[in-house]
Amino acid sequence: MLPEYRVDPRVQYLIDHFEDDIITADHGLRYQVYERVMAEHAAEPKVMQIAHAYHAFLLEKDVTVLPHDLLAGQLHYYGYATAMPLSAPKGVPEKQADRKPMLLNYENYEVRKEMDGYFAVTGKTWDSPEGRLFRRMLSGRDHGLYGRYNIGHNIAGYERVLTCGFSKLIEEGEAALAAAKTDAQRAQIRAMLLSDRAVVQYIRRYADSARRAMATAEPMYQDTLRRIAEACEQVAEGRPETFFQAVQLLLLVHDAIICESVTGSLSLGRLDQILYPYYAAELRAGTIDFDGASVLIDALWVKFAQLMQGFQNVCLGGCDENGRFAGNDLTVMALRASRKTMFDQPLVSFRYHPDMDDGMWNEVQDLIDTGLGFPALFNDAAVIPAKIEAGAAPEHAWRYGVVGCVEPSLGGLEYSNTEELRVNWAKVLDTMLSGGMCSIRGDRMPIVKPRDLGEIQSFEEFYRWYQEELAEATRLGIRCANLLDSTYAANFPVPFMSSTMTGCYDSGKDVSGGGGVYHFSSLNSCGVADAVDSLMAIRELVYERKLVTLPQLAEICRNDFEGHEGLRLLADNLPCRFGNDDPETDRVAQELTNLFFRVTTEFRNPFGSRWQMGLYTVDSHSFMGEKTGALPDGRHRGLSLANGMSPCQGADRQSPTAVVLSSVKLPQQHCGNGLVLDMKFNPAFLKQREHRLGVRELIRTYFALGGLEIQFNVVSRETLLAAKADPQKYRNLVVRVSGFSAYFYNLSSTLQDEIIARTEYAG
């Protein structure tokens, strides 16, 4: 029997003083150091410039262990613009907890900077065929057709570092350097070695800081500070010998990786499996117990929370190499840590297994009931085959963790650019109805063949045209992404992260340049249900009921239904909407998703690997929606699109079961890059035992039918409306947005309205 849930006073102190403990002095320092040091080493290869700058930054940045800290390490956002495609920092608020994140969005990601890097490496220009292709992609991106955020989104080799220690990692690098055959390999390996040695020095700085803190700390803090100092001294080069040292090293490696690359979803992988051997060994020796280990996991959660909206994902549960459920004490500790701390970080994912006992189910559902949006549930029986289909070996596929929102990834082995490319299905339809022009800005869009809408005689003809345009828009995006990826590592390498990944030292390549074991590319969707519902509305209103002609409907949409509210309401309330188990609607959704997947199979990326499909949106459904005009399904111009592969907001009018039955019609077995199916329940509904058990059976049924992912918002419409009206009163309200959770007050008004509008199941 596991101990009951409780919060240790030392952890409660960390929670209560969370905002006071955030150190902001270094937010702009990284940008300044990189700019200076890269200029000093301008004659060297780019990867060495970046490694020198990284080394200098780790020596210059603030390193502080506070007297009441239980672990060393501080997670921050920094000014990353010099070394990667991000716009320059625009100033940093004094309190991190009061800020709206500035870097983690598509608007600050400069695809043009990637394109300029491509030209610098290849010698081509904007007037070349590639340049003209890039112009079309940029036009589509600026108008909401494409999204790309090719930073972070990886699970580094945490387990590899813990198993080897830095001394062995450096030995491996020195051997690889001696065997390297080309100047490019030697430069890459030297950069990785310099980065590893920089991190060794960085960890030692934390040891020194802990010892300095001991000089003035009260007696009650002395033992913990000494333990931190000794742990940092041990793991600076050696392997961890205790559970505490393993937790400490994992946190400091994560800290160091975030210093190198903006945490666009830099995730931890299967934390309960990575740390369990150290816990089990001490448990057998009698030197640790459940409560003692829980304190460390709780303290780790507080450290993760310093990176507000950092999309750091921790994956729990799942199977072992023999297919047996691998949940353990640390699984429970981690689930409880989120309940105790109630922060938006880390994101928590849980790998469902049919052999889970009631105790584990209760831990999972207790966390769901908090309303944090954790954990997102994944089905091993769907994810593992999807990863194998993408190209992962079976002996690796079962090890998957989750990157960022919902992207299954093989920690330490795989680099998959999980936010490589997103295509807005609804914008394709919007552009077709607007004569090839953007309905918002009036600019020409990269559509293949605009047509006279009055000449289209049947729904089948229009539907075929839509399929052609969706496929061609997708192909254009993939071609551009492949070109950009071919030179990405030459311009934006990550030598420290690469050193942690299996294969990079041996290959002498950066992980972003194909140096690891797997390097997939990823194609994601937006506006799936909006496109499907709009196609069904066109079929119903134009070709079956003949209430309007197609040109008339297009004009009505361009004018945002002004003067046609009756028609808009009719379209909005049609029964043939995705999520209601309507056979014809689900068939269209299935056909389009299969088409989207088939396009990925036409391509290989620059490293010879597959493109994999994802049906999730992060927050793209909000800002892509702002750039999408009114749609035939009754959606007004500029409103948010559907979240992931979920139904449009408020369109699922039958039951959760109907949503599940519609969703499993889509080819989820092809979603190697994940998907989002979101449901919202009123908190009062789940307080009743029979309803709680009903949700459990809903999850089991969905997964038995082949579902891959499902997640829950547990919050009432009334609470959300109150939080929007009085954000200061509800500053601690966390909600599930898409594949991530965030503080409600910190979301855009468009996203807030989208979450409020979702169907709420209350009985």
Q: Give DSSP secondary structure letters for 107-161.
A: GGB-HHHHHHHHHHHH---TTSHHHHHHHHHHHHHHTTSEE---S--EE--HHHH
Residue (of 643, 594, 732, 701) closest to 305 by Cα position = 732
Alpha-carbon separation of residue 30 from 58, 98, 553 (angstroms): 9, 21, 53
Q: In 3-state terms, what secondary structure has residue 539?
A: helix
pLDDT tens-digit series, residues 298-344: 999 999 999 877 899 999 999 999 999 999 999 999 999 999 999 99
Residues 90 and 81: their CA atoms lie apart, in Å, by 11
CATH of 125-147+412-667, one of 2.130.10.10, 3.20.70.20, 3.30.530.20, 3.40.50.11690: 3.20.70.20
Q: What is the pLDDT of residue 740?
A: 86
Q: Is the pLDDT of residue 17 over 90?
A: yes
Q: What is the pLDDT of residue 107?
A: 55
Residues 266 and 153: their CA atoms lie apart, in Å, by 5
pLDDT tens-digit series, residues 723-756: 999 998 998 898 988 888 888 988 888 889 989 9
Predicted TM-score of the model (pTM): 0.95
Where are the domains positioned within the chain? 1-94+156-240, 125-147+412-667, 266-404+677-763
As a whole number, mean pLDDT of residues 70-91 equals 71
Q: Is the pLDDT of residue 99 over 90?
A: no
At residue 176 the predicted structure's pLDDT band, cuts being 50, 70 and 90, is: very high
710, two tokens: 């499902």
Q: What is the pLDDT of residue 22?
A: 80
At residue 102 the predicted structure's pLDDT band, cuts being 50, 70 and 90, is: very low
pLDDT tens-digit series, residues 135-150: 999 999 999 999 998 8
Top-ranked range on mean pLDDT: pick from 88-92, 103-107, 467-471: 467-471
Q: What is the pLDDT of residue 97?
A: 37
Alpha-carbon separation of residue 435 from 11, 442, 637, 649, 740 (angstroms): 60, 10, 17, 28, 36
pLDDT tens-digit series, residues 465-503: 999 999 999 999 999 999 999 999 999 999 999 999 999
- Cβ density class 390-424: b for 16+ within 10 Å, e for less: bbbeeebbbbbbbbbbbbbbbbbbbbbbbbbbbbb
Specify whether the CB–CB gap between 737 and 621 falls below 8 A.
no
Q: Is the pLDDT of residue 106 over 70?
A: no
Cα 321 to chain centroid distance, Å, stands at 26
CA atoms within 13 A on the CB side of 696: 19
At residue 594 the predicted structure's pLDDT band, cuts being 50, 70 and 90, is: very high
Length of the chain in terms of residues written? 763
Q: What is the pLDDT of residue 79?
A: 66
Q: Is the pLDDT of residue 25 over 70?
A: no
DSSP 423: E
Q: What is the pLDDT of residue 126?
A: 95
Cα 647 to chain centroid distance, Å, stands at 21
Residue (of 505, 532, 508, 503) closest to 518 by Cα position = 503
Q: What is the pLDDT of residue 103?
A: 38
Q: What is the pLDDT of residue 104?
A: 44
At residue 81 the predicted structure's pLDDT band, cuts being 50, 70 and 90, is: low
Residues 119 and 622: their CA atoms lie apart, in Å, by 32
At residue 89 the predicted structure's pLDDT band, cuts being 50, 70 and 90, is: very low
163, two tokens: 């198993």
Residues 229 and 213: their CA atoms lie apart, in Å, by 10
742, two tokens: 């965030």
As a whole number, mean pLDDT of residues 405-416 equals 96
Specify whether the CB–CB gap between 76 and 258 falls below 8 A.
yes
Residues 498 and 189: their CA atoms lie apart, in Å, by 10
Q: What is the pLDDT of residue 21?
A: 82
The end-to-end CA distance of the chain, in Å, is 34
As a whole number, mean pLDDT of residues 507-515 equals 98
Average predicted confidence (pLDDT) for the chain = 93
